[in-house]
Amino acid sequence: MEVLTTVDEARIRELRRRDEFFWVDLLSPSDEALDRLGALLHLHPLALEDTREFRQRPKVDTYEDHILLVFFTARKTGDAAWPAVPLEVHVYVSGGFVGTIRRDQCDLLDELHETLVPEGAADEEFVVYRILDSLTDAYYPVIDALEEQIDTLEAEVLSRPQREHLSRIYRLKQDVHNLQRIVAGQKEQYLRGNESILGLAGLEKGTRPYLRDVADHLTQVAGEFHRQTEDLMALTGTYFNANSDRLNAVATRIAIAGTLFVVWTLVTGFFGQNFGWLVDHIKSIHTFLIFGVGGFVVPTVILLTLFWVKRDDWF
């Protein structure tokens, strides 16, 4: 099967004349190139308008002899704040060709150029399946990257929660929720459009329903994103609980220090009342150490011992 990465009019006309199935994969084509492609492949003007504008939602538009799928995949960014971004790909499927149009680099499609040609796949349904399956499987490395970020955040929150952790959790939850929303919509649209693809005139079908595997993978991916969204919501609660425990520990230390100061204030207040016996008898350094310093040390030791013994029950 031949793969074209430019709008080669002569070659496309020849392939169409021979009724040979081919793949056109265009990266950021100009409006003029889209017009020429539409004229050569007889693409519907409404479909071309969507492709010119991009920024569509996942959908399947069925026309007389071809179908437009607005299909989303994703790629890792390497940025801890925003680990993944969605990529929009417009996929045209007909009985005589498949076309993919994108504005962002997608390494999986580029690699597929090299693997599809040597295979010489006879079943046209299988070719369409390989393209859609590759775009869907690109979510799995993204899921792993997001999972790594969630695990790292959870360990940091449990160790020492900080204000910046809450911001990172919300940013990551927004990223995951956006991907979940896209995949959930894409799964519903694809399930409705699957039969339309198989019903295209001239499209050779394989011995097994390959395209149904794409729906299964989309269901798995949507489930993973849903689970990660719930994990991040739970992590938000973990942050507040850990932060509350940290504040309670600080309050406990302050309470212990306050209790000690109350005892020390009581001791100093007692000796500061200038009782006659105290004034007459506490004159030497020995009596000062016994009554004065001892009055601080003995209750302090008693209280600290009591706090230590009761630490599990009181704190």
**pLDDT value, residue 207:** 53
Last residue of a domain, one of 200, 225, 244: 244
Last residue of a domain, one of 211, 244, 277: 244
Domain at 109, CATH number: 3.30.460.20
Instruction: Return d(Cα 9, Cα 67) in angstroms, integer.
Output: 21
Among the ranges given (73-82, 215-224, 281-290), the one the predictor scored with the smallest mean pLDDT: 281-290
* pLDDT higher than 60, residue 121: no
Is the pLDDT higher at 289 or at 98? Answer: 98
Instruction: Judge whether 214 and 128 are in contact, CB under 8 Å.
Output: no
189 and 228 in a single domain? The answer is yes
**pLDDT value, residue 101:** 94
Kindly report the backbone phi and psi dihedral angles of residue 77, in degrees, each rounded to the nearest multiple of 5, phi listed first. Answer: -105, -25
**pLDDT value, residue 181:** 93
* Mean pLDDT value of segment 77-81: 76
**pLDDT value, residue 41:** 92
* pLDDT higher than 80, residue 284: no
* pLDDT higher than 80, residue 269: no
Task: Give the percent of the chain with pLDDT over 70.
Answer: 91
Segments forming the whole domain that contains residue 28: 2-244
Residues 6+ apart with CB under 8 A from 88: 54, 55, 56, 70, 71, 72, 102, 103, 104
Question: Using CA atoms in the order 23, 26, 31, 34, what is the torsion angle rounded to 10 degrees?
Answer: 0
Sign of the torsion formed by the C-alpha atoms of 22, 23, 28 and 31: positive
Last residue of a domain, one of 220, 244, 268: 244
Instruction: Judge whether 219 and 186 are in contact, CB under 8 Å.
Output: no
* pLDDT higher than 70, residue 279: no
Among the ranges given (159-168, 209-218, 232-241, 283-292), the one the predictor scored with the smallest mean pLDDT: 283-292
Q: Token match 């005139």: residue?
A: 201
* pLDDT higher than 80, residue 208: no
Residues 6+ apart with CB under 8 A from 177: 229
